[in-house]
Amino acid sequence: MKTTKRDFLLNQMPALLGNLTAETEGNFGLMTPQHMVEHIVSVLKNTTIKHEGERESPANPRQLGFQKFIKGGCVLKYRPSDKTKADLPKLKYDSLAAAVAAVPAAIQGFYDFWAANQDYVPYASFMGELPFEDIELFHYMHFRYHLWQFGLIEEYPG
């Protein structure tokens, strides 16, 4: 039986994150395990904020590019940059365990938000308007990418 995105996000993702330690090395990138988990929580919360204000219409080239990326399956690729560990954001949680403990509520909050706001058309300046299913796909692929980054799953995109 194939796992749904919802089941993966609500059940498998938190269980896999439980295998992280503060010493787990990423296979690429600068983030520490705690930075990665806090990043996941932040991205989830950002997609449950209702955009107030004017929406750009028609979509600009950047938004069209993001929408094309989503429609193409949302497969992320590592792109090195000039950033260093000094550029990482300040940690918000006291520990990796506290950050990991915040993930299930953030995921449930994402689903609860969409259940309560079924007619809302999500919008962000970088993505334009996207339906719920596209945002769910983004989270699914984005989180699989970071699990793969830290060796918690063997295949990506899978």
63 within domain boundaries: no
Number of domains in the chain: 1
**Does residue 48 come out as left (phi exceeding 0), alpha (psi in the -120 to 50 range) or beta?**
alpha
Percent of the chain with pLDDT over 90: 77
pTM above the 0.85 mark? Answer: yes
What's the chain's average pLDDT?
A: 93
One-letter amino acid identity for 94? Answer: D
Is there a domain that residue 90 lies in?
Answer: yes
Report pLDDT digits (tens) over 115-153: 999 988 888 888 888 899 999 999 999 999 999 999 999
Whether the predicted pLDDT of 14 surpasses 90? yes
Tokens of 107: 């995921």
In tens, the pLDDT along 48-58 reads 888 877 888 88
Domain annotation covers residue 95: yes
> Which residue range forms the structural domain that includes residue 114?
5-51+80-149
* CA 144/CA 157 separation, integer angstroms: 7
CB 120 within 8 A of CB 131: no
The DSSP code sequence of 53-72 is SPPPSSPPHHHHHHHHHHHT
Cβ burial, residue 137 (10 Å; 0-12/13-18/19+): middle
Across residues 57-71, what is the average pLDDT? 91
